[in-house]
Structure 1
């Protein structure tokens, strides 16, 4: 006991500078701290518990060192996958994506009620959104008239007349009050893919990507600007036109009545970077009448009958798995099967941990976070950095690096589950690929949203977004030069031809081109990455040399808008695989889908499971 006291006294009697060097050497860990999913805690980079016992030797040492572990060690988070959260992540993506499109649809349906004063109020907060709304108001009313003509035919049918609020057909017939964009979402992910359906559900993990493309065709700005603009616009409409707003709500959701549901509807959108509770998602699904969706992300998917050919004997025995999809006329539950691995982003993972596992005082000690977006995640992950804004405010010394894998995350394409099952079951020679029409758009979304962090009060010098090629530097350099910079040049050429009145902005062809071209802020963001003119954006490959857009102008100025659109589309057909680019040979299709899907053969799921005792005996040999 005396010896221990003497040792402590000797240590404490050392000069402060020397003591700090000793403490630093003790607490500093090679590789820093890494979030461990299984234990929901931080560990060392080599998966060992963090050693902090020195802090418990005496109060003086504890006071001198309490800030050191978190201040001298970088904390790393990756995308978060938990099998027990599969339905939570999938349904969160469903609710968030569906509510985003639903808000947009509501705005466009009743935006004609906006007065000049209401538009002025909107413009004060969201000028770009208000400007785009004025254009959409006119176009969407024409669009609604065309769609309603078709829906009137459907409403005259017997099925629609039997729909009662809360009744069997109500959820389906609700689609007839909305635009085809919502009808598509409800069809692919809600009404199809269920045990009663004759159709297939698509990948839940990819739903937010489809949602982003749709909203981008209508609105300009960052993902968060669009969402915030829609919510604020609806709030203005609810405040100034409550009767009309309520009537449209009841038309689409007859079960929603009174003032409270209107407030719930406007505030329905979760923050994109949340990892919500199961109860909150189930409540939202109830409000949106999506209550039958919860089990769908957890379902196993098999090869559809029609993938086998006409001579398939469809009466083979079914397995007895309670999660199996047994739709008789669709496919039989045998052969290779798969189900999704659905992830939350590294940013969402870090926010949850910082909020729930580290107190406010400890958070102020943190100096460095490194976030690895290594695989696709739910709920528009490109904008999730905004969720860290409160932590920068409470800790001005915080610095964050966000790494995104271009080929596995930002540019990744997730195939539908039944196609994945068919690939393994039928031995398809499927190759890993990128889609030419999406490479630049997906990358631009991430860059624009990364730059938006300054709008949330995050200092530019405190955050870096790093686009990574990993071991594929040459490949990424090549596709950036050949496709990304080409798309930028064609976009600039189109704008130049429009400014010179070569094209008619009122033509149908012009309207077909505009949504698929890069927006001004996207071109600007790509320029920042290429020329390194922003302290926020970085990449680990060569961004090449810009194409001469004036050469594109010269080559295409003899075309009218119809001809220009045709040439624009032809660029996707170049190469051996029209519309696609093969990934590097080491990024095989099998390795890709193994990241996105849990895959089992019949032997895997029909073989009797061994007991723990049997496993032990087998291991002992």
Structure 2
């Protein structure tokens, strides 16, 4: 094919140019240029995507001129698979460990609080029944059981309810919020609230399990639910005896390996992009090769708004059966908060 000449800045029209090619041909060339073998891999330290095949600069063409830059916007995301993997970093391990513990403590406490309120207050029982009947009808037997005064027969651990755990947690949180947030709730007599009044700060505590929290966010959550100061504030108190209450509090900030799931890292990265870039993504692969924190099996729910915004995105989640799915958290050297709940949970 003969390439027509293009005029340069000096009026010389004898030199052929890439920009005079038909747009369809230029797009084909762009496609070959930006498509990389194995796509891009997310680096959790730099918070950026890097070519999996270690190319020095796979986006150099975008710097050629303004026209090419505009024509190639988002092509690297559209033409390549984005890979994310479970990540461990020593500097964030303690924060993730505390986050994992707090979420599970909040979930158990919220379940216990909701069941207590339903059992003690007829108004709460009616309010909860109306909300559950509309939004979570499959949980009506649990509400009715607590309403009949059989609170002690129900476990606060929603895993025992024989329902999908993430749905059970959503049922508890939303139902509790509909009760505690009602304008009539503060006017209830104290006898209808029972000994749970001191735990109402936990009732409104909510943090998406697939979020990658900052240290400040976790410390704020710890203060709201346990009145626990920061690790730095505690370490400044000297000496800290191993049998002291302060030692029990800071043991959640231990040095065991706590990891972020590939799903949570992918959600955080994609949400950090501009909408024009997010909708260009076509393929994401999540490699969950290690146990991670905060109910990682539920982290896929965080992709719901992403898929609604970008229906063309395709997400594959790969789980390592030996290193993740069939591994006991204790064997994987990951903190197990369930064994610590008895230290701080309210008396039942």
TM-score scaled by length of structure 2: 0.77
Specify every segment of 5 or more residues in structure 2 that has no aligned partner in the other structure, as ranges.
1-7, 245-253, 336-348
1:118 Cα shift?
4.3
2:28 alignment partner in structure 1: 21
Matches within 5 A, 1:270-349: 270-291=207-228, 294=231, 327=242, 339-349=255-265
1:32 Cα shift?
0.3
Kept after mapping to 1: 8 A contact 2:125/2:147: no
Q: Residue 97 in 1 paired to residue 40 in 2? A: no
* Structure 2 counterpart of 1:378, from 293, 304, 312: 293
Q: Distance in 1 between matches of 2:15 and 2:149?
A: 77
CA RMSD after TM alignment: 3.5
Q: Distance in 2 between matches of 1:7 and 1:378?
A: 63
Kept after mapping to 2: 8 A contact 1:109/1:140: no
Change (3 A) 1:116 1:360: same
Secondary structure at 1:379's aligned position in 2? Answer: coil
2:89 alignment partner in structure 1: 82
| Superposed CA offset, 1:551-572 (max 9, x none) | xxxxxxxxxxxxxxxxxxxxxx
Specify every segment of 5 or more residues in structure 1 that has no aligned partner in the other structure, as ranges.
145-178, 182-213, 257-261, 300-321, 330-337, 416-588, 598-621
| Superposed CA offset, 1:450-508 (max 9, x none) | xxxxxxxxxxxxxxxxxxxxxxxxxxxxxxxxxxxxxxxxxxxxxxxxxxxxxxxxxxx
Kept after mapping to 1: 8 A contact 2:117/2:193: no
1:374 Cα shift?
1.0
Change (3 A) 1:237 1:16: closer
1:266 alignment partner in structure 2: 203
- Number of residue pairs matched by the alignment: 310
Highest relative contact order (Cα 8 Å, sep 6+), 1 or 2?
2
Change (3 A) 1:50 1:266: farther
Q: Residue 362 in 1 paired to residue 277 in 2? A: yes
2:195 alignment partner in structure 1: 251
1:88 Cα shift?
1.3
Q: Distance in 1 between matches of 2:129 and 2:81?
A: 47
Matches within 5 A, 1:488-567: none
1:24 Cα shift?
1.3
Change (3 A) 1:230 1:142: closer
* Structure 1 counterpart of 2:305, from 377, 380, 390: 390
TM-score scaled by length of structure 1: 0.45
Q: Distance in 1 between matches of 2:243 and 2:45?
A: 38
Change (3 A) 1:7 1:141: farther
Secondary structure at 1:77's aligned position in 2? Answer: strand
Kept after mapping to 1: 8 A contact 2:77/2:280: yes
1:216 alignment partner in structure 2: 159
Change (3 A) 1:124 1:98: same
Q: Residue 120 in 1 paired to residue 112 in 2? A: no
1:20 Cα shift?
2.0
